[in-house]
Structure 1
Amino acid sequence: MKKIVNKQIVFFGGKGGVGKSTSASAFALTSARKGQKTLLVSTDPAHNVGDIFHKRLSGNPKRLTENLFAIEIDPNEETKRYLDGVKDNLKGLVKAKMVEEVHRQIDLAGSSPGADEAAMFDRLVSIILDEKGSFDTIVFDTAPTGHTIRLLTLPELMGAWIDGMLKRRENLNKNFSAWMGDGEPVEDPIYDILDKRKERFAEVRKILLDDELTEYVFVLNAERLPILETEKAVETLRKHDLLVNTLVVNKLLPDVEDSSFLRKRKEQEKEYIQMIDKKFNQQEKIFIPLLDGDVSTLEALDRISEAMQEELFQ
């Protein structure tokens, strides 16, 4: 039995077009049919999960099948929610005549590079911390590789950034207290807000680093470019202590005898599978066949789920 089935949080990542959404959806469906209350979360702006299940999804959990619920996170909505939260935190801390200008600056920041990732990260933190008590398994279908890496490494980076902010606020408060001459601690709501965020980030990072709770799965095809990109991604995440222990090798060709074209493709595929085994000898592998049609119906997803179930529990 593959270790992945015992994890509470599972991230699916990989190069665009390799079948991440299909693999994540099939795994979530398999988990749900094993009696696990499962939440499938799409952080990919392209959002294929709703299309696969023929359901209109939003930022709130919606039931897809028995034991299976799903969320599609809209980056624009999350950015707006994130900025509104920043504005709320500043209420009462900014002079009335400055509020309009502060809000304008915050809105401008919303269009800056990285704002949507910060908002998505904030939502990811909320889902992990606030939803994990309600679900047995949470499955994340992430955007293509680069975005996934940035999202998963943000807890470490944001934690370091907040540490710096807290130290600056602390020094500022000490100087202000000394200037006042009474030595009494200064009440600082901003410091308290930052400190609470630091605690949440630290809690999420602890969960992301706990290989008893969390699994990272990369999906790839038996082709050169996906193999090389996966190798780089696995190494990058390892540097941040995030270990990818499972690979889904997707869209494997059937064995054929009556087509020279397919026989040649199959021989080439075997060479790439050998490359995968050599480069990723520490990872468990799940091999999924190529279907004879698009995975655009629940019946087709069932076939992927069944193939995955055989691999997971062998």
Structure 2
Amino acid sequence: MAALFDKKYVFFGGKGGTGKTTCAAAFSLKASEMKKKVLLVSTDPAHSLSDIYDTSIGPKGAQLSDNLFAIEIDPEVEAKKYIEGIKRQLSGVVSNVVIEALQKQIDAAYMSPGSEEAAIFDKFIEIMESSEKKFDLVVFDTAPTGHTLRLLSLPKLLGLWINSLIEKRKNAVKLLEKASGVKNDDPVLRILQNRKNMFEKAWNILSDFRQTAFVFVLTPERLPIFETERAMQYLEHSGIKVAGVVVNGVIPQAAEGAFMNKRREVQNRYIREIHGKFKEKVLAEIDLLDEDIWGIDNLRRIAEML
């Protein structure tokens, strides 16, 4: 786990309810107390960071301690901003008549599957670029696994799509130049090329294990194990190396009683399975605490186990 504190970007993901937000918050706190300047970013619509730190964070962000800052991205707000951005770009390259004709389709895109992921992806890139020199470490607390996998697959998927659009636009521009005899700086082609460059930069960051790490948080239960295994296989097949897993909610030996003993027995079986499947990628085991996790003091208790 110690090696993660030397990364530039650390992503915490996992099945909903496994404690990924708590782990991301505790990891960020520990890094900040190691004198690193840390930005903690949440893309989870539940906005649990504010609850954990018992303070209002929101999209404008907040300073939580001397070296720790946090921001909560609102997917719905970012999706609206994303659509408005598309409209602004179009207004510079097509006529008002065309924009009016496209208005309904553009507005419908706001409700389409993947619009929030695309918007959050743009926000990711914005944060990465703006935080590059301001912060030593940026920690991302991501939405549940399915959303996160779609988000991380965007650079490759959209990159292929953009390449196709660029080639088609280049052919159209060549025909136009041939017909008019005038060479033009095509604004549409420029926008597409800028998007392509942005996707390539994002992919280079996400796939560079020297500066970026992905950590999955799971509990010692059947479904989280299966989901984590599938997610890790998906990312690594896509070219993104997973740093490891954190096992959360482990019943401590001090917990007594017939019920706890039975639950511990079941957990131990799954913990053995986790170590068998993920081997050296098991970075830490975090005990189930005897109270709710919120506030700096309780987060420090979690941080000590990381």
TM exceeding 0.5: yes
Partner of 2:72: 72
* Contact 1:145 1:233 (C-alpha < 8 Å) held by counterparts: yes
For residues 149-164 of structure 1, the aligned pairs below 5 Å read 149-164=149-164
For residues 189-228 of structure 1, the aligned pairs below 5 Å read 189-228=187-226
Distance 1:258 1:100, change over 3 A: closer
- Cα RMSD between the aligned structures? 1.5
Partner of 1:134: 134
**Matches of 2:81 and 2:37 in 1, distance apart?**
27
Deviation, 1:256, is 3.8
* Contact 1:218 1:230 (C-alpha < 8 Å) held by counterparts: yes
Partner of 1:248: 246
Partner of 1:312: none
Deviation, 1:59, is 2.1
> Which secondary structure state, in structure 2, belongs to the residue aligned with residue 179 of structure 1?
helix
Instruction: Say yes or no: does 1:40 pair with 2:40.
Output: yes
Letter in 1 for 2:87: K
Out of 284, 297, 300, the residue aligned to residue 298 of structure 2 is 300
Q: Would you say how many aligned residue pairs link Structure 1 and Structure 2? A: 306
Letter in 2 for 1:123: K
> Which secondary structure state, in structure 2, belongs to the residue aligned with residue 58 of structure 1?
coil
Provide, for residues 216-274 of structure 1, a one-character-per-residue CA deviation record: whole Å limited to 9, x for no partner: 00000111111111111100111101111221100111114741221222122221111
In the superposition, the TM-score normalised over structure 1's length comes to: 0.93
Unaligned 5+ segments in structure 1 are: 309-314
* Contact 2:18 2:248 (C-alpha < 8 Å) held by counterparts: yes
Identity across matched positions, percent = 43
Letter in 2 for 1:206: N
**Matches of 2:211 and 2:57 in 1, distance apart?**
26
Unaligned 5+ segments in structure 2 are: none
Partner of 1:23: 23
Deviation, 1:282, is 4.1
> Which secondary structure state, in structure 2, belongs to the residue aligned with residue 45 of structure 1?
coil
> Which secondary structure state, in structure 1, belongs to the residue aligned with residue 169 of structure 2?
helix
**Matches of 1:266 and 1:238 in 2, distance apart?**
32
Partner of 1:287: 285
**Matches of 1:67 and 1:148 in 2, distance apart?**
27
Distance 1:56 1:173, change over 3 A: same
Distance 1:246 1:86, change over 3 A: same
Partner of 1:166: 166
Partner of 1:88: 88
Partner of 1:5: 5
